Structure 1
Amino acid sequence: MVAGASVFALAPGAGAATPPTVPVPQRTALQQGLDALTGRAGASGAIAEVRDHGRAVWRGTSGVADLATRQPAPVDGEFRAGSVTKTFVATVVLQLSAEHRIDLDEPIERHLPGLVPNGGNITVRQVMNHTAGLADFLEDPRFAYESDEALRRLLAVDRWQTLQARDLIAIGVSRQPYFPPGQGWHYSNTDYLVLGELVQRVTGNGWRTEVNRRVLQPLGLRHTFLPGTATAVPGPHSHGYLALSGGPADITELNPSMAGAAGELISTTDDLARFNAALLGGRVLAPAQLAEMTTTVAADEQPPTRYGLGLMQLRTSCGEVWGHPGGIHGYVTYLFGDRSGTRQIAISANPYDPQKGAELTPAVLDLIDLTFCGPKSAS
């Protein structure tokens, strides 16, 4: 699993979800749901936090932080959050829209001439909601890490390389577009590298500077970082692993420039849950911009999702929740909350056992459903 890839893709229309009315599920049921990630789904470690009405009501840990020492996964640990980065970048773009510095329906070519082919017919909105048709640079063969040989190359060489956003964009746009602009939906990490370049062009500052100034600092997210080319996870953390033929290989340290504005964020479950609450609770964007963010197009059928502007709508058994999944080597993240900003769940897991990997998404969906809908009654 690579930077920013949609971790629901084994497999968000407009309209607010009805806030759940069920009580917060029992701690035992939540812990059992988290244990399923390290049990039936084969993750080496997993942590989660549920917040309700502005306070953490449950925090859980399962599995280990380190396969060698067997130390438990730290419940307050930092982790690579992958594509959750996209929601932060989209938030900045929408703030710039509120300031009339970006028009969501203007062509991307107006600010970034020549960056993408056919840019005069691709709008900012289409780039944000993945309807631009731009191919995902991660689908290029040089980023395919499926064989043991390729994984060893990743470990020895590729994970340390500094990659420039414009070079990655060039790789993406060198591939055949998925469809003409506005004529379909396809998740593409190239889109959010383009948005990172857009923020820099409009503000004169790097996108990391603007995310820090506009989002992280005002919300006091002190354990959320945009590491650039720094390779370490700075605080207490669980390790990420690759499953090689000879056993586990530690992939915790890497140069996240391979992800950039599409997926380099490091955070904690508490910081992410508080961000989701503030965003959906109307404390980060003006009502008009939040309405734009939550106006969606059809995305994946399974699990049933729609996609807004850097925000996904996921259907549960009792309504819809909003947020984003994320994946990068050794880590997967899931952040979702109800539309009112009342309840949130943030999950980080370290997928490892490839024989059980197909169970990870179903186990996560069960835990999300439990959080918002409560335990299913026995039939």
Structure 2
Amino acid sequence: MTGRKQHGLSDRVRVALAVAGVGAVGVASVLGSGTWAQGTAPAPARAQLQRDADAVRDTGASGLTARARDAAGRDRRARSGVADVKEGGRVPFDAYYRIGSDTKTFVAVAALQLVAEGTLHLDDTVEKWLPGVVTGKGNDGRRITVRNLLQHTSGLANYTDILFEDPEELTPERYRSQRFTAHTPEEKVATAMTRAPGWLPDADDPASETRWSYSNTNYVLVGMIIEKATGHPWEQAVHERIVEPLGLRHTMTVGTSAYVPSPTATAYLQFPGRDDLTDTTLSVDGGADGGIVSTTADMNTFLRALMDGTLLPAAQLAQMRSTVPAPDMSSGDQARYGLGIAWRPAEGCDKGVWYHGGTSFGTVSESAVTPDGEVSAAAAVFTTRFGDEKRFLEQAEATVDLIDHAVCGRRG
């Protein structure tokens, strides 16, 4: 599950929240107290990170782990809650987790490296690389460029909105029956093609399009284009161009596997119309729109290498940071979306922060980095609520506060 709305809400969550309103599950009584790891970072900063982690737990999250890295390269870590609400135990500091739509930033980097090499061009149309794939119901691959896909200015329907537009599909029983079922990229795109686009970019100047709407379909298509351009799956491009060069030993694509490696924590989802939490740890969630598994340590390394210019030439990094308004990406209607990454203002950071984030069945990934790549933070929260909008938003707000405090320093 992928996609973003306010402070990290997914498109699929938006559908579920439309029918929300049930009572919250009371898990606070079984949540363990927080523990923070001693490190070389200043004690006040470590203590603040722990307080913020506990605040996320107090919104009802079963457990979480967070890691921040300062300009001197010093790490501080925090965890709170429990690894499993029945069995207890601490959430591992180095827990693996599904990063959801944070995958899009990795895929965008791979695509932009291909642009730097001349294999792809941002103005290439979808039709050039995938003839006949984007068509029907008014969809037209001749009017959509690689840039439009990377920036979510294509107007294409979001296939996950279609798959989960009926709230009755969001049930524990449905989840269990489908958790090992994988859909091919072609099937996902075909689903999106059953709906008319929200708009078509200007035929003469599609790069000028500034209308923005988040669609996982865009990145499914980017993955398909990378494969067509290189002759290899998008996963190979990400591994060879990002994972291996950066030494991200705990970042991987799991394909059609429903499993997350150990150590990890149990992922929980509150379905609409229910008060209880369902164990949703097992779930097929592969794809260029959200198929990567990682750790908070690796996410910090990746984001810093991206912003400091390690991964992209200056021209392509500038393209990535060329943005359009994306008011649904965060609260305050001030967020802007580039090519696979977003920007938002953050108190204490004069130049704001770059971020993305992702939501999966039972897991929320949140992270941010300063524009110079010197300070970063990442967190994994192992609870998602589709059945209680208030608690979902409280958890999202608390998690973003944790990240912003860690990156920008607490103010007030």
- TM score, norm. by length of structure 1: 0.90
Question: Which of the numbers 330, 342, 367 marks the counterpart of 1:312?
Answer: 342
For 2:247, give the aligned amino acid: G
The answer for the alignment partner of 1:153 in structure 2 is: 173
Question: Which of the numbers 202, 218, 226 marks the counterpart of 2:253?
Answer: 226
Question: Which of the numbers 161, 165, 180 marks the counterpart of 2:185?
Answer: 165
8 Å contact kept, 1:294–1:309: yes
Question: Which of the numbers 53, 58, 64 marks the counterpart of 1:34?
Answer: 53
The answer for the alignment partner of 1:357 in structure 2 is: 392
8 Å contact kept, 1:45–1:64: yes
**CA offsets per residue over residues 154-198 of structure 1, 9 Å max, x none?**
332111102101110111122121222225100110000000000
The answer for the alignment partner of 1:336 in structure 2 is: 368
Residues 36 and 240 (structure 1), Cα distance of their counterparts in 2 relative to 1, 3 Å cut: same
Residues 242 and 107 (structure 1), Cα distance of their counterparts in 2 relative to 1, 3 Å cut: same
- Paired with 1:357 and 1:98, the residues of 2 have a C-alpha distance of 40
How do 1:152-301 and structure 2 match up within 5 A? 152-181=172-201, 182=209, 184-243=211-270, 245=274, 247-257=276-286, 260-300=287-327
8 Å contact kept, 1:6–1:325: no
**CA offsets per residue over residues 69-103 of structure 1, 9 Å max, x none?**
11111111100100000000000000000010111
Question: Which of the numbers 77, 81, 91 marks the counterpart of 2:109?
Answer: 91
1:300 shift after superposition: 1.5
The unaligned stretches of length 5 or more in structure 1 are: 12-22
1:315 shift after superposition: 1.1
Q: 3-state DSSP class of the match of 2:355?
A: strand
- Paired with 1:92 and 1:246, the residues of 2 have a C-alpha distance of 41
C-alpha RMSD over aligned residues: 2.0
**CA offsets per residue over residues 110-154 of structure 1, 9 Å max, x none?**
1111111311111110110000101100111x324744x731233
The answer for the alignment partner of 1:130 in structure 2 is: 152
- Paired with 2:123 and 2:164, the residues of 1 have a C-alpha distance of 32
For 2:152, give the aligned amino acid: H
Residues 91 and 352 (structure 1), Cα distance of their counterparts in 2 relative to 1, 3 Å cut: closer
8 Å contact kept, 2:364–2:384: no
Q: 3-state DSSP class of the match of 1:98?
A: helix
Q: 3-state DSSP class of the match of 1:277?
A: helix
8 Å contact kept, 2:363–2:384: no
**CA offsets per residue over residues 353-377 of structure 1, 9 Å max, x none?**
6362220221122222212332223
The answer for the alignment partner of 1:374 in structure 2 is: 409
User: Size of the alignment, in residue pairs?
Assistant: 360
1:32 shift after superposition: 0.9
Q: 3-state DSSP class of the match of 1:247?
A: coil
The answer for the alignment partner of 2:142 in structure 1 is: 120
8 Å contact kept, 1:6–1:83: no
Q: 3-state DSSP class of the match of 2:399?
A: helix
- Paired with 1:312 and 1:356, the residues of 2 have a C-alpha distance of 24
The answer for the alignment partner of 1:143 in structure 2 is: 164
- Paired with 1:192 and 1:264, the residues of 2 have a C-alpha distance of 11
- TM score, norm. by length of structure 2: 0.83
Q: 3-state DSSP class of the match of 2:112?
A: helix
